[in-house]
Amino acid sequence: MKTIDLTEAQEPLYFVCLEDWSDEIKEAKNHKEIWFRKMKDKGLRVKLAMDDSGKIGGMIQYLPIEHSFAEGEDLYFINCIWVHGYKEGRGNFQKKGMGKALLKAAEEDAKELESKGMAAWGVSLPFWMKASWFKKQGYKKADKMDISVLLWKPFSKNAKPPKWIKVVKKPQKVPGKVTVTSFINGWCPAQNIVHERAKRASTEVGDKVAFITIDTSNYDTFSKWGIVDALFLDGKEVRTGPPPSYEKIKKLIAKRIKKL
Instruction: Identify the CATH number of the domain in which residue 62 sits.
Output: 3.40.630.30
Model confidence band, residue 260 (pLDDT cutoffs 50, 70, 90): confident
Answer whether residue 38 is part of any domain: yes
User: Tell me, what's the pLDDT at 87?
Assistant: 93
Q: Could you tell me how far CA 15 lies from the centroid of its own chain?
A: 12
- Out of 136, 164, 192, a domain closes at 164
User: Do residues 116 and 13 both lie within one domain?
Assistant: yes
**pLDDT value at position 125?**
85
Q: Which of 114, 135, 164 is the last residue before a domain boundary?
A: 164
Instruction: Tell whether 40 and 153 lie within a shared domain.
Output: yes
- What pLDDT is attached to residue 205? 86
Q: Is residue 173 part of a domain?
A: no
3-state DSSP call for residue 203? helix
* Mean pLDDT in residue range 80-91: 95
**Do 111 and 28 sit in the same domain of this protein?**
yes
pLDDT tens by residue, 123-152: 998 777 999 999 999 999 999 999 999 999
Q: Can you give the CATH number for the domain in which 185 is found? A: 3.40.30.10
Give, to the nearest 10 degrees, the angle between helix 189-205 and helix 31-40: 130
Same domain, 185 and 149: no
pLDDT of residue 128: 79
Q: Is the pLDDT of residue 187 over 80?
A: yes
Domain-embedded: residue 211: yes
Q: What are phi and psi of 66, to 5 degrees?
A: -65, -20
User: Are 134 and 49 within one domain?
Assistant: yes
Q: How confident is the model at residue 16 (pLDDT cuts 50, 70, 90)?
A: very high
| 186-205: b (≥16 Cβ within 10 Å) or e | bbbbbbbbbbbbbbebbeeb
Are residue 119 and residue 239 in the same domain, yes or no? no
Q: Which domain holds residue 195?
A: 178-258
Last-in-domain residue among 164, 186, 217: 164
**Reduced DSSP (H G I as helix, E B as strand, rest coil) percent helix, strand, coil of the chain, to 5:** 30, 30, 40
Determine the pLDDT at residue 203: 94
Q: Are residues 149 and 232 in the same domain?
A: no
Q: What predicted TM-score, i.e. pTM, was given to this entire model? A: 0.95
* Averaged pLDDT for residues 236-243: 94
Same domain for 160 and 201, yes or no, is no
Distances (CA, A) of 187 to 6, 21, 63, 90, 253: 16, 19, 11, 22, 26
Query: Would you say 214 and 161 are in contact if contact means Cβ atoms under 8 Å apart?
Result: no
DSSP class per residue in 21-56? T-SGGGGGTTHHHHHHHHHHTTT-EEEEEE-TTS-E
Q: How many domains does the chain have?
A: 2
pLDDT of 188 over the 80 cut: yes
Give me the pLDDT at residue 127, please: 74
**Would the pLDDT of 213 be above 80?**
yes
Q: Are residues 112 and 138 in the same domain?
A: yes
The runs of H, that is alpha helices, within 71-124 are 98-112
- Domain assignment present for 171: no
Q: Is residue 172 part of a domain?
A: no
Mean pLDDT of the chain: 96
135/218 same-domain check = no
